Amino acid sequence: MSAGPVLTVDGWRTIAGSGSRDGIYALAWGQKGQSSPQGNSDEEGFMMGDQDDANLINYAVNVRTKQIVGTLVGKHFGDKSTYNHDSTETAWSSSSLFLAQVNSGKWATFDANVYGLLYTSDGGNALSKAADLLEPTKKAIFEHLEGGPVLKKFDKGDFAITLHDPRIVYQGGDCVVQVGVIGQIPKSEEEDASFEATVTFTLATNEETSAPLLSWRSTEGH
């Protein structure tokens, strides 16, 4: 059963727009202990759960075998990728070796993580542990701004940081994850109260099921 581009399976529903490039994988949402996700459906058949439900859970799934590959850190709450100011963004590498999920609200990103897709001995898939993308991005941004007018005028803690438009691509033979970054002091109209940049990290895999390794590659201000 499907609602538009959404696949519904016992225990989970896929998130529209979260599919891998090869169409095999996607992200999904559900609720712990529920055989069918619960929520309100709109006229198009898209369902939205309770954003504050402590039992919300996100998965990476194989849409062909209808199997859960692994559990994600993020807790998006519906079939659509965006609800008002809340959104989830997904990026996959061309080989589906890596995936990233970025969850944000009106002013800031809640969580952002990168995962490796692992292949098991029985021909199935598993998901690595999460590698945090948000904190390394913040560190890279503020190191880039050190000594400049922004941090001479404001403190780091004044800024809400939003990651957006994640991409996993290849550069010079390396697999990298790139994210756009917006820093802003909410509702401030002062000069230097906002900035934009792109941060890039090189990705590497581990042979075991530990998280991918992120190595800072560049920070480009805009």
pLDDT in tens, 106-145: 999 999 999 999 888 787 889 999 999 999 999 999 999 9
Q: Which of 80, 100, 121 is the last residue of a domain?
A: 80
> Is the domain of 71 the same as that of 98?
no
> Is the domain of 21 the same as that of 98?
no
What pairing do the DSSP bridges indicate for beta strands 194-204 and 174-184?
A: antiparallel
> Is the domain of 73 the same as that of 170?
no
> Is the domain of 57 the same as that of 131?
no
Task: Kindly state the tokens that stand for 165.
Answer: 């438009």
Name the band, by pLDDT with cuts 50, 70 and 90, for residue 67. very high
> Is the domain of 43 the same as that of 135?
no
> Is the domain of 94 the same as that of 203?
yes
Output the pLDDT for position 61. 96
Q: Which residues contact 202 (CB under 8 A, 6 or more apart)?
A: 174, 175, 176, 214, 215, 217
User: What percent of the chain lies above the pLDDT cut of 70?
Assistant: 96
pLDDT (tens digit per residue) in 199-218: 999 999 876 668 999 999 99
Which strand (E) or helix (H) includes residue 195? strand 194-204
> Is the domain of 58 the same as that of 96?
no
Note the pTM of the prediction, 2 decimals. Answer: 0.92
Output the pLDDT for position 43. 86
Output the pLDDT for position 5. 67
Q: Which residue has the higher pLDDT, 174 or 4?
A: 174
> Is the domain of 76 the same as that of 88?
no
Q: How many CA atoms lie within 13 A of 52 on its CB side?
A: 0
> Is the domain of 72 the same as that of 103?
no
Q: Which of 57, 80, 103 is the last residue of a domain?
A: 80
pLDDT at 2 over 50: no
**How many independent structural domains does the chain possess?**
2
Q: Measured between alpha carbons, how far is 204 from 133 in angstroms, rounded to an integer?
A: 14
Output the pLDDT for position 123. 77
> Is the domain of 108 the same as that of 144?
yes
Name the band, by pLDDT with cuts 50, 70 and 90, for residue 58. very high
Q: Which of 46, 80, 114 is the last residue of a domain?
A: 80
Q: Measured between alpha carbons, how far is 2 from 103 in angstroms, rounded to an integer?
A: 24
Find the domain containing 20 and state its range: 1-80
pLDDT (tens digit per residue) in 69-84: 999 999 999 999 999 9
> Is the domain of 141 the same as that of 209?
yes
